[in-house]
Amino acid sequence: MDTKNNLDNFLENRSELSSIRKKLQKEQRQIRINAFLKNKLSVIGLVIVVIMILIAILAPMIATINPADMDVANRLKPPSTKHWFGTDDIGRDVYSRVIYGTRVSLFVGFSVSLISGVLGMIIGIYSSYNKILDNIFMRICDGLKSITSTLLAICLMAVLGASIKNVIISLALVNIPNIARVARSSAFVVREQTYIEAMHAIGAKPSRILWIHIAPNTLSPVIVQMTFVFASSIITEAALSFLGAGVPAGVPSWGSILNIGRSHIYNAWWLIIYPGLFTAISVLGLNLLGDGIRDLLDPLTN
């Protein structure tokens, strides 16, 4: 009889405990959301990023004209009711091309930050665990850093050839060392904590410690770094396309519209202003969002 009572008590307590815990988690989440909303700049950043994502997804509906359509009779025409942002040197609608360019930029930025985030994290966490690997990886990172990401991306594009896939591959390769460093240094901090020592003591396998206990704790700095990689990839993609080494010729991209604008700088301001504004505002939005997430996850910076 006693045992049954105890069991009932235990079960009751446990369900009570878990409901309290759930409530606590909910409250903590609410506190975090409130803190984020209180920071006006990061909310602005979030709004900009959401609008950009919507533009990218809804591009076929928002664009007025097929971005590849050439209206040869109306070349280099200033903004009008038909062509909101004017036309380029072969009569394509700049508004539609800028809208579709959002798709290319965000797709490149998102893929690069995801790929380099995952691979960088794997490399960073492994190298925090193994001294030999660490030395090798860090020397490679130092070397790549000396070549600098801009030059390395330009070279990789020269070797691989212009295509969206290759832009993503080169930018991901260029950004992996960044993420790896961040993951590594926060893994070093986590590794010194007592509970990791305890895991070692009870004989947990290294892979279990690394992936179930250390990896989740390095996630937040990595996510912050990923938003900055997102922003810098948009810049670098635009720069590469501007140089003619990014996306292939026909693909609408902010950088390639700007490239056409450079050759017509005397008479076609709309070829620079509009793609330029889109580039700057989306990068600004991502930077603001990144700063906001960082302040949120790392209260020490305040």
For the bound state, the minimum distance from the C-beta of residue 204 to another protein, rounded and expressed in Å, comes to 33
Of residues 18 and 150, the one with the C-beta less far from another protein: 150
Of residues 113 and 287, the one with the C-beta less far from another protein: 287
Contact 172, 180 (CB under 8 A): no
| Residue position matching structure tokens 């959401």 | 50
Of residues 209 and 289, the one with the C-beta less far from another protein: 289
- Give the max Cα distance, the chain: 94
**In the structure, how many helices (H) and strands (E) does the chain have?**
12, 0
Of residues 209 and 246, the one with the C-beta less far from another protein: 246
For the bound state, the minimum distance from the C-beta of residue 31 to another protein, rounded and expressed in Å, comes to 24
Contact 164, 247 (CB under 8 A): yes
For the bound state, the minimum distance from the C-beta of residue 252 to another protein, rounded and expressed in Å, comes to 17
Q: DSSP class of residue 300?
A: G
For the bound state, the minimum distance from the C-beta of residue 173 to another protein, rounded and expressed in Å, comes to 10
Binding site for another protein (CB under 8 A): 139-140, 142-148, 150-152, 154-159, 231, 235, 238-239, 242-245, 258, 261-262, 265-266, 269, 272, 276, 279-280, 283-284, 287-288
Of residues 194 and 301, the one with the C-beta less far from another protein: 301
Of residues 102 and 209, the one with the C-beta less far from another protein: 102
Contact 200, 209 (CB under 8 A): yes
Helices (H), 79-193: 94-129, 131-147, 149-160, 164-191
- Supply the DSSP string of 209-259, one letter for each residue: IIIIIIHHHHHHHHHHHHHHHHHHHHHHHHHHHHHT-SS-TTS--HHHHHH
- C-alpha–C-alpha distance, residues 45 and 239, integer Å: 22
Q: DSSP class of residue 67?
A: T
Q: Give the tokens for residue 281.
A: 């505002």
Of residues 109 and 215, the one with the C-beta less far from another protein: 109
For the bound state, the minimum distance from the C-beta of residue 47 to another protein, rounded and expressed in Å, comes to 15
Name which of 103, 104, 69 is nearest 88 in CA terms: 69
For the bound state, the minimum distance from the C-beta of residue 63 to another protein, rounded and expressed in Å, comes to 23
For the bound state, the minimum distance from the C-beta of residue 291 to another protein, rounded and expressed in Å, comes to 9
